[in-house]
Structure 1
Amino acid sequence: MAIHCLGRVLVAIFFVVIMIEPDPAVGLRKSDLLTINGHDPVSVPTTTLVGICESLVIVHGYPCIEYNVKTEDGFVLSMQRIPDGLVKGNGGNNKQPVLLQHGVLMDGMTWLLESPDQSLGFVLADNGYDVWIANSRGTRWSRGHASLDPANPAYWNWSWDEMVDYDLTANLDFVYSQTGQKVDYVGHSMITTWLGIAEFNPKGKAVADFLKTLCANPGVDCFDLIRSFTGKNCCLNESTVDLFLKYEPQSTATKNMVHLAQTVRDGIIMKYDYGNGAANIMRYGEIRPPIYNMSNIPHDLPLFLSYGGQDALADTRDVGLLLDALKFHDGDKLTVQFVKDYAHADFVLGVTAKNIVYDAIIAFFRRQ
């Protein structure tokens, strides 16, 4: 995808939001855009024919459309669109499209698990935005592929490098092809084989056995696993956590988890490290993987970054490194929000997120 116009971006360690206008000349071909009413029966599994719209959106009275989007490397991704809020027509005829991207081990349901007045997907729709919800490869509704089956380890040979290069590109191009408008992007949380397993399924036997062994250690308290991974969330509703556990967490590639672990280990955001110079040279032409230079983000690209003081996944030290990389960003284009009591899950499941964070997001959009 050739990006020739960048608009506003919300970077919330919780979210990353970007307004992008893809080049239609190099966007997806019509044959690559698979909709619920015109799907390719070979590429699209039957499980994509019902899903998030029916489960969580229509039941609340909102309109919802299911789409499938094919990436250049053959994956078929599920996408949902909420074109209107409960008050139809709010926002006019040319509504601003917003693409919502969930984090690792999650899917698009992330944005819809709270009540409609507290879930970002519904809140944006009710405020006049055209809401599009992405589902990354390997998750419940995005397991289709042109030639590979999820039971084949080759299906899982990817990390967030490919998710950026292919999934994000295909989704942004698709939304642009349907709306003809720049796209606001909101993202949450992006934290070889492991034990010979290609698919990292948090609910699978291999991971369950690993957690059982881990929790048997006298020094490990696994009573609250969500808190163990995300930090001490302040504002989760018990019924919402129960609903979350009903639908989540989702599968991802073990390679993706290894890549995230490499980032933590090395303290550098770079492409996947294949573990030896020869393999990296074969893939990248260099002994070490290329580094993602965050300071290359255009200085005049509007950014909104929100992070929490209790977050164990995106802790304040990591955010400090990001802010240092953005130190030359235009002052009037960078907005930073710090929520002292918030941990990782509070940003998408917290009962106060609407008033503290979502209202700030909408205000940010409108200022730009």
Structure 2
Amino acid sequence: MYFILLFLLFCWKLDYVLNDNNQDAPLSFTELAKKYGHNCEDFDVITKDGYILKLFHIKGDKTKIILLAHGITDSADSFIIRGNLSLAITLANKGYDVWALNVRGTKYSRRHVTLSPDNKKFWDYSFHEMGTKDLPANIDFVLNKTNQSKLTIIGFSQGTQMSFVMSSMLSEYNAKLNGIIALAPVAYLHNVKFPLSILIPLLLPISSVQKVTDNEEIFKNGSLQTNTIQKVCTQKNVGYEICGLGVIFPLLGSDPSELEPDFFPILFEHFPISTSRKNLEHCAQVMTRKKFAQFDYGLANLMIYGSLEPPEYPLANINVPVGLLVGLNDKIADVTDVKILRDRLPNPHYHEIKRKQCNHPDLVYGRTMDEYLYPILFELLHNFTKS
């Protein structure tokens, strides 16, 4: 198992391409929406720093607007690949106006007004820029398009992280939110479980090597590591044994009843996708420094921030209600860390999912989310939006 994990980690340094096996391309978000009974439109959203982001929309009641924010090395697809059980389709079936963003660098958002993805400057970002640039741009676009004043964010994993960044740093955006529903919320990473507690710190020296070699894009489409993962993990039986039992469950928490063998070929047609070296390094800094803080530039901090240490995100500024939904078996968004977050938020609504095996991906990919997750989620939505 650990050989597999280390292989996936260190193959970042390899940049040649395997031959294509002529597999059919996976369905896009728009195609999946249509497959499950909904028309979907897409828009280009331009951030203040020039990134062109794809935003998907399934029409519904404009007074019930939801903005979905996906996790790391993922895209809006995560909210729809479970089909009729997925969050996007469930919301649409209930009449919500569903919008799903795609942050910079993902397969849907690889454009910029001046920069090419081949330019290393394109990849000079972390979840900080997602929170201060990508999320605000999408919120403004949606509210302008719908002529409404507020929406509700539902984020998963890094989607929660960018939401906390935005609402703490750009507190004026709190007036545009009914609230934030945070699925597997990520802010503090003090208690990440083994083996991630060992592997995540390794990202720092690896990132230094990547920076020297100008290798800024991680999980690039067509690269050795991405092709290897997708070729292996989409094999129905072998893929489940290697990628499920050997990687996903040890890393994120074991729950084979929710993430069954038949789902893995679907999952790994859409995941993982590109992110930046700097984004992973920033996540590693949060864990090793035990602070939910801005990027640590070392000696340059004094020039950038006016202090030797990067400032922590001022969570006390988040004055909207925040629903915190956490699984008891989540090895990343550990219950203890989410409680630290809860205690630093002005208006938290904390919920532990009572399924004993509920892990990190169960809150976006679980086979029976309608039983253990959606009742809590829709109660929060009702409470956040009632007059």
Return the offset for 1:204.
Answer: 5.8
Match among 219, 237, 253 for residue 201 of structure 1: 219
Consecutive unaligned residues in structure 2, runs of 5 or more: 1-25, 159-185, 187-206, 230-241
C-alpha separation between the residues in 2 aligned to 1:208 and 1:242? 14
C-alpha separation between the residues in 2 aligned to 1:199 and 1:53? 23
User: Closer, same or farther in 2 for the Cα pair 1:55/1:225, shift >3 Å?
Assistant: farther
User: Closer, same or farther in 2 for the Cα pair 1:207/1:283, shift >3 Å?
Assistant: farther
Q: Does 1:243 align with 2:266?
A: yes
Return the offset for 1:362.
Answer: 1.4
Return the offset for 1:206.
Answer: 6.3
User: Closer, same or farther in 2 for the Cα pair 1:313/1:57, shift >3 Å?
Assistant: same
- Counterpart AA for 1:288: E
Aligned pair count reads 293
Match among 258, 273, 285 for residue 296 of structure 2: 273
Partner of 1:318: 337
Return the offset for 1:334.
Answer: 2.3
User: Closer, same or farther in 2 for the Cα pair 1:302/1:209, shift >3 Å?
Assistant: closer
Partner of 1:356: 372
Return the offset for 1:52.
Answer: 3.1
CA contact under 8 A between 2:29 and 2:80: conserved in structure 1?
no
Matches within 5 A, 1:77-226: 77-84=53-60, 91=61, 94-116=62-84, 118-181=85-148, 182-190=150-158, 194-195=209-210, 196=213, 197-201=215-219, 205=223, 207=225, 224-226=246-248
Partner of 2:381: 365
Return the offset for 1:240.
Answer: 2.2
Q: What's the TM-score, normalizing by structure 2?
A: 0.71
Consecutive unaligned residues in structure 1, runs of 5 or more: 1-49, 85-90, 212-220
Which structure has the highest helix share of the two?
Answer: 2
Return the offset for 1:126.
Answer: 0.9
Q: Does 1:334 align with 2:349?
A: yes
Q: Tell me how large the CA RMSD over aligned residues is.
A: 2.4
Partner of 1:231: 253
Partner of 1:39: none
Return the offset for 1:304.
Answer: 1.2
Partner secondary structure for residue 273 of structure 2: coil
- Between the aligned residues of both structures, percent identity stands at 31
Return the offset for 1:111.
Answer: 0.3
Partner secondary structure for residue 43 of structure 2: strand
- Counterpart AA for 1:62: H
CA contact under 8 A between 2:123 and 2:216: conserved in structure 1?
yes
Partner secondary structure for residue 245 of structure 1: helix
Which range moves more in the overlay, 197-206 or 282-291?
Answer: 197-206
Matches within 5 A, 1:243-262: 243-262=266-285
User: Closer, same or farther in 2 for the Cα pair 1:204/1:258, shift >3 Å?
Assistant: farther
Q: Does 1:302 align with 2:270?
A: no
Return the offset for 1:261.
Answer: 0.3
C-alpha separation between the residues in 1 aligned to 2:340 and 2:330? 15
C-alpha separation between the residues in 2 aligned to 1:52 and 1:177? 26
Q: Does 1:64 align with 2:40?
A: yes
Return the offset for 1:239.
Answer: 2.4
Return the offset for 1:209.
Answer: 11
CA contact under 8 A between 2:45 and 2:55: conserved in structure 1?
yes
C-alpha separation between the residues in 2 aligned to 1:363 and 1:245? 31
Q: Does 1:289 align with 2:289?
A: no
C-alpha separation between the residues in 2 aligned to 1:119 and 1:210? 27
Return the offset for 1:354.
Answer: 1.8
Return the offset for 1:95.
Answer: 3.3
Return the offset for 1:158.
Answer: 0.6
Partner of 1:21: none
CA contact under 8 A between 2:115 and 2:122: conserved in structure 1?
yes
